[in-house]
Amino acid sequence: MFKKLLIANRGEIAVRIIRAAREMGVRTVAVHSEVDALAPHVLLADEAVLLGPAPSSESYLRIDRLLEAARETGADAVHPGYGFLSERAPFARAVEDAGLVFVGPTPETIQAMGDKTEARRRMKEAGVPIVPGIVDPAASAEEARAAAEAMGFPVLLKATAGGGGKGMRVVEEPAALSRAFDAARREAEAAFGDGSVYVEKYLQRPRHVEIQVLGDVHGNVVHLGERECSIQRRHQKLVEEAPSPVLTPDERRAMGEAAVRAAAAVEYRGAGTVEFLYQDGEFFFLEMNTRLQVEHPVTELVTGLDLVQWQLRVAAGEALDFSQEQVRLQGHAIECRITSEDPANGFLPSTGVIGELRLPQGPGVRWDGGIEPGYEVGLHYDPLLGKLVVYGPDRPAALARLRRALDELVIPGIETCIPFHRRLLDETDFQEGDLSIRFLEEHPQVLEIRADADATRTAAIAAVLLEEEARRASTPARPAGSGGSQMSPWRAQGWPWNE
């Protein structure tokens, strides 16, 4: 195992990796920009290195500074987290060329699956179902129109190097294709430095279902079940759960086997995710994320496996010590992404200083966060503050627990998306698991958040908390040994078997 791990990331995922490494006896190095000097991940790590100014292009995206930080601190491995450089093949190659271990797949695997058209070609050869469409990028709008007319409208234009909804356009009719093609190319070029676009059939109401895979350097690959990620806004996931409320055992088995074939086709090493679109009993390969996913905690809760620790073990050369037959899914887990966005104002970013943070506790509740009281939320980075994850014996129990946990979660000082999640839980179709990636388009009332009502509620909670703090401050401390007990917050916010 490694002696020292550098985490090339920030926020809640850096905190998550540091905790996993510490449990394994691995020392950690945090990196940070000037505005993150006192961030939780910096304070939690054994060592910290300043990368540069606030803009990520001058700090977290500086490969040269990251490698310098590794050399300065004597780190022998680098974990990229997710986002930033996590799926950049040149970064993985630079890490390996520097004599360090990259905690993730090989540069060749990242490159092969990062090119959407190349990935589709490989998946087709591996017998993995793909969405009908062309394999190579369209050279022109005329070529794209010909392909679209051959498969039938509507179609989807997609950037070959895309992700996060960038470089994507839905085209309903031939007359709209040329303008959409040019717009998709411009957006793709600006976002990824590659304006290549291909065409595939547009599925009207699919679900987004993904399979977690884990592979080692000895050729073993297993899948750890699926996650339902259909609740999305502008192609960004908002809620994820495991297992999917719709898959049958046979469908789960078939999709899992397809994901294993996909991973084996590129000799996958580490934790990765094969994403599918599911509709009317059929599923189609969407893409592969060659990194840890934001939503990995729901898989951890239903399998009992620590995916970050398995990333480290695989990167250190260890073989998986369990087979596919030994993987068991138990219970149900749901994750809400908590962001510094105001749903009452079109999810505009919110900034400010975190006040007296109150986190939900109790059985089956987990908080993976990167904030603390006094932490200043700015506009430089992703708005993800943390992830509220709950576990229950079944989906109804998990939903009830999630409702309770959301009511307990208080993040004063900024606006957050918590009101959206509360509103979503009130929706009958969500409760019944009738989901698709069009859910929010079909249920616009979920986005109708009343700012005044939620502000009143938040203010009332804050007033009660302040009163409680004042009462505690005026109450003499209890002498040691005088009785009473308190559950450890680590245990209360931990795994479902802590129940």
Residue pLDDT, tens place only, 267-322 = 999 999 999 999 999 999 999 999 999 999 999 999 999 999 999 999 999 999 99
Whether residue 122 lies inside any domain: the answer is no
Q: Is there a single domain that holds both residue 41 and residue 148?
A: no
Q: 301: which residues sit within 8 A by CB, 6+ positions away? A: 242, 331, 333, 366, 389, 391, 495, 496
User: Residue 279 domain-assigned?
Assistant: yes
Looking at residue 449, its pLDDT comes to: 85
pLDDT for the residue 262: 97
Asked whether residue 253 falls in the same domain as residue 347, the answer is: yes
Q: Which residues lie closer than 8 Å to 162 by C-beta, 6 or more apart?
A: 116, 168, 188, 191, 192
3-state percent breakdown (helix, strand, coil) of the chain, nearest 5: 40, 25, 35
Q: Are residues 150 and 230 in the same domain?
A: no
Residue 496 in domain: no
**How far, in Å, CA of 157 to CA of 283, rounded?**
19
Q: Which pLDDT value is given to residue 9?
A: 98
Which of 201, 228, 257 delimits the end of a domain?
201
Residue that terminates a domain, selected from 171, 201, 231:
201
Contact 266, 122 (CB under 8 A): yes
Question: pLDDT of 439-496, one tens digit each?
Answer: 999 999 999 987 544 444 554 555 555 555 555 555 554 333 333 333 223 223 333 3
- Report how far residue 62's alpha carbon sits from residue 8's, in angstroms, rounded to the nearest whole number: 10
Domain shared by 216 and 189, yes or no: no
Q: Which residue is associated with the tokens 């998306």?
A: 417
pLDDT of residue 274: 97
Distance (Å) of CA 32 to CA 49, 52, 157, 424, 451: 6, 8, 37, 35, 34
Q: Do 185 and 195 touch, CB atoms closer than 8 A? A: yes
* Model pLDDT for residues 386-411, shown as the tens digit of each residue: 999 999 999 999 999 999 999 999 99
**Where residue 139 sits, what CATH number does that domain have?**
3.30.1490.20
Q: Measure the CA–CA gap between 49 and 70, rounded to whole angstroms.
A: 9
Q: Are residues 15 and 87 in the same domain?
A: yes
Residues 193 and 211 occupy one common structural domain = no
The torsion angle over the Cα atoms of residues 115, 438, 417 and 361, rounded to 10 degrees, is -90
Q: Which of 291, 313, 337, 423 is catalytic?
A: 291
Cβ(37)–Cβ(81) below 8 Å: no
Flag whether 127 is in a domain: no
Considering the domain architecture, whether residues 183 and 212 belong to the same structural domain is answered as no
Q: Is 162 found in the same domain as 224?
A: no
Same domain for 418 and 285, yes or no, is yes
Instruction: From 66, 73, 60, select the one nearest 26 (Cα to Cα).
Output: 73
Closest CA to 292 of 370, 207, 214, 234: 214
Q: Which of 145, 171, 201 is the last residue of a domain?
A: 201
130 contacts 117 by C-beta, under 8 angstroms: no
Residue 226's domain is classified under what CATH number?
Answer: 3.30.470.20
Structural domain containing residue 168: 132-201
Using CB atoms within 10 A of its CB, is residue 427 exposed (0-12), middle (13-18) or buried (19+)?
A: middle
In a domain, 425, yes or no: yes
Residues 6+ apart with CB under 8 A from 188: 159, 160, 161, 162, 166, 167, 194, 195, 196, 197
What CATH number does residue 86 fall under? 3.40.50.20
Q: Is residue 111 part of a domain?
A: no
Domain count, the chain: 3
Is 291 catalytic? The answer is: yes
Same domain, 98 and 43: yes
**Is 234 contained in some domain?**
yes
Low-confidence ranges of the chain (pLDDT < 70): 162-164, 451-499
Q: For residue 262, is it within any domain?
A: yes
Residues 215 and 310 in one domain: yes
CA distance linking residue 462 with residue 467, whole number of Å: 9
Q: Rounded distance, CA 190 to CA 175, Å?
A: 25
- Please indicate, yes or no, whether residues 151 and 230 belong to a single structural domain of this protein: no
Nearest to 356 by CA among 452, 470, 494, 449: 470
Residue 75: its pLDDT value, please? Answer: 98
